[in-house]
Amino acid sequence: MAQVLGLTILSFFITGILFIPFIDFLYKIKLRRQEQTTKDVFNHRTPLFDKFHKWKVGTPFGGGILIVLVVSILTLWAYGLLQVDVNPWEIFVILFSFISFGLLGLYDDIKKLSKQESAFFGLRLRQKFIIQWVLAFIIAAVLYTKLGYSFIFVHGFGLASLGIVYILFAAFIIVSFVNAFNITDGLDGLAGGLFLICLVAFLAITSRELEQGLGIFVAVLMGSVAAFLYFNIYKARIWLGDVGSLSLGAALAVIGLLTGKIITLAVIGGVFIFEVGSSLIQISSKKILGRKILPVSPLHLYLQKIGWEEPKIVMRAWLLGFFLAVLGLYIAFIH
């Protein structure tokens, strides 16, 4: 455990030191927030979002690029240094999900700065959603065929085998958390802080289950995200960008799947589920009832609309996330 925590400290300092010149680099290449043209889930302009976040124009995004690079390199280095006995396919699942979704997010970030209308730069939301499912099915298939995952743990019942249906189930979990994280990443420090709380909880789970291979990745990722959060809290000097939100969302889902504790994942990541749930309610009500149930979504934007200040929303979300993490650990440990 001491070695794993040492990796967290090392990752924190390396990422923190590199973020200072990296932020300057993002300014130089002009990877910065542009004048808002934000649209909601119905492809309509969102003047309310633009009103609350207009002052953020000019702040660089793309912090996820550095996180993906540092975490990937340090994780592979740590596996070799500590000579961890880990299945190569597990390493593949961890890093493929982390990097592939990061690359998809990087495409989105680059597209924001491009005015080209070529086929490559013209991918629509539906097409990118399909790519997410393709990547998720690849990961799920490896979990099922190479690592033998076909079960979920249900408290009170033990292991429930899903058979080949596990592939569809795992892909759904991955796509859901990727989009939940992306939706939640709308306020300074919100998604990053919640994610860090989730990682602490899963580090405790991997330590208890003696899953050193997964624990190393979680520890390295925890240190890197903590360093990013230092620069991301209100008022943020940098944001994750889609490269960060998609890669971290995929990482959280895969961590939960590799531990086999899906219900625990749903509880620990509960705030992300609340956020994406509010958007799904909005979409469903519009299509089924022909009107919106909520004045605006996701949840954090609604709280801004009713007068909550951004730091208050973030701090209270962290508190809720902490409580859910403790509850999730309780559920994971009582069996």
Task: Tell me, yes or no, whether 149 lies in a domain.
Answer: yes
In a domain, 327, yes or no: no
**Res. 134: pLDDT tops 60:** yes
In a domain, 288, yes or no: no
Q: Give me the pLDDT at residue 42, please.
A: 41
Domain assignment present for 334? no
**Over the stretch 205-222, which tens digit does the pLDDT of each residue have?**
998 877 888 999 999 999
Residue 71 lies in a domain: yes
Whole-number average pLDDT of the chain? 87
Q: What pLDDT is recorded for position 157?
A: 67
Per-residue confidence (pLDDT) for residue 253, from 0 to 100: 97
Q: Please state the rounded mean pLDDT for residues 303-326.
A: 94
The tally of domains found in the chain comes to 1
Three-class DSSP labels, the chain? CHHHHHHHHHHHHHHHHHHHHHHHHHHHCCCECCCCCCECCCCCECHHHHHHHHHHCCCEECHHHHHHHHHHHHHHHHHHHHCCCCCHHHHHHHHHHHHHHHHHHHHHHHHCCCCCCCCHHHCCHHHHHHHHHHHHHHHHHHHHHCCCCCEEEECCCEEEECCCHHHHHHHHHHHHHHHHHHHHCCCCCHHHHHHHHHHHHHHHHHHHCCCHHHHHHHHHHHHHHHHHHHHHCCCCCCECHHHHHHHHHHHHHHHHHHHCCHHHHHHHCHHHHHHHHHHHHHHHHHHHCCCCCCCCCCHHHHHHHCCCCHHHHHHHHHHHHHHHHHHHHHHHHCC
pLDDT digits (tens, 9 = 90+) for 250-289: 999 999 999 988 999 999 999 999 999 998 988 888 778 7
Contact 256, 265 (CB under 8 A): yes
pLDDT (0 to 100) of residue 125: 77
Range of the domain at 8: 2-113+122-261
What pTM value is reported for the model? 0.90
Within a domain: 292? no
Q: What is the pLDDT of residue 41?
A: 43
Residue 291: inside a domain: no
70-90 pLDDT, tens digit each: 999 999 999 888 777 888 999
Q: In the predicted model, is pLDDT for residue 124 greater than 90?
A: no
Q: Is the pLDDT of residue 116 over 50?
A: no
